[in-house]
Amino acid sequence: MDIGLDPPRGISGFPLGMPAAALKEAAAGLGTVKVQDEGSADRFRYMKVLALHPQFEIVFHLEDGRSLTSAEVWIPRPGPERITVRFRGVDVFRTPALHLLNQLEAMGLTVLREPDYAYVPGLSLGFTRTAGHDVPLDTDGEPLYFQAVLTGPTGYYDYKLKTA
C-alpha cells in the first residue's frame, strides 16, 4: 500500500474538504474506524476520525465538525503488507529524519526545525519524532525516523514563520 502526501490538498484518497460521511466510508476501507466527538467543532474537542489498520493508523481531523481539515499518518509497523508513505517520491518513514529534512531543503522548501518536531510552513507539512516506545536513535539522541506526519491546508503552519 502506498500513501501519498499531497499538501496542501491532503493524502491519497482523502482530499482536504472531504465531507465527514464520505471520509468515514473511505476510512473503513483501511481498517477499523473510530469517531471521536462526532460533529463537534469545539476548539479543544473537535471531531476526529481514526482509521486503525493492523500496521498503521491515520488520524483525520475535522476541525469544523463537517469536513476533513488535516490528516496525520503514523509510522507503519512491521507486518505482512509493505506500506510506504511518500512525499514527492521520498519514503517519509524509511528515510532517517535528519536526511529527510535535508532533502526537503534541497527541494527549495523552508524547513523549521525544533526539538522533536519539524515544519514545512509553505507546504503545510508537520513532522514529529516523538515516540511512545523504544525506537532506534540518531546521533542527536532523537528517534532516527519520524513517527508521524501531518498534512494540512494552505497556511496551516505559517504562524511558525512569525516565531522563527
Q: Tell me how many domains the chain contains.
A: 1
What pLDDT digit, counting tens, does each position of 35-66 carry? 999 999 998 999 999 999 999 999 999 999 99
| Residues spanned by the domain of 25 | 2-163
Please check the confidence at residue 100 and state whether its pLDDT lies above 90.
yes
pLDDT of residue 122: 87
User: 59: Cβ–Cβ under 8 A, 6 or more apart, which residues?
Assistant: 48, 49, 50, 71, 72, 74
Please check the confidence at residue 34 and state whether its pLDDT lies above 70.
yes
The span from the CA of 46 to the CA of 36, in Å, is 8
Please check the confidence at residue 15 and state whether its pLDDT lies above 70.
yes
Supply the mean pLDDT for the chain. Answer: 94
Please check the confidence at residue 72 and state whether its pLDDT lies above 80.
yes
Region 15-25 average pLDDT: 98
30-35: long-range contacts at Cβ-Cβ below 8 A with a sequence spacing of 24 or more? 30/58
Q: What is the pTM of this model?
A: 0.93
What pLDDT digit, counting tens, does each position of 112-132 carry? 999 889 999 989 999 999 887
What pLDDT digit, counting tens, does each position of 136-158 carry? 888 888 889 999 999 999 999 99
pLDDT of residue 19: 98
% the chain with pLDDT above 90: 82
User: 64: Cβ–Cβ under 8 A, 6 or more apart, which residues?
Assistant: 41, 46
